[in-house]
Amino acid sequence: MKVKLGWTQWVILATTLIVVLILYTFGGEGIHGFAFALLVGVMVGTYSSIFVASPVLLWMMSPGQTQKQTK
């Protein structure tokens, strides 16, 4: 299965990651926890969108195919 993202989505993701890394690197001690949590959230959200939501969406779009194949 191939997942195709538009260039604007990659630019938004890259920009978000760059900002979070800058916050973590140059931010004070109070910002480190927030930036780390934000980084984990972005990574988990990206993984979820690509590897979890895509197969679920495909499964929901064609529910009749799985039932026909099992009979």
Among 33, 51, 31, 32, which Cα is nearest to 43's?
Answer: 51
Is 19 within a domain?
no
* Exposure string for 1-33, b = 16+ CB within 10 A, e = fewer: eeeeeeeeeeeeeeeeeeebeebbeeeeeeeee
Is 51 within a domain?
yes
Domain span at 38: 32-62
- Give the number of domains in the chain: 1
Is 27 within a domain?
no
Is 55 within a domain?
yes
Is 50 within a domain?
yes
pLDDT, tens only, 19-64 = 999 998 998 888 999 999 999 998 888 888 778 777 887 888 876 6
In which band, very low, low, confident or very high, does the pLDDT at 66 lie, cut at 50, 70 and 90? low
Is 25 within a domain?
no
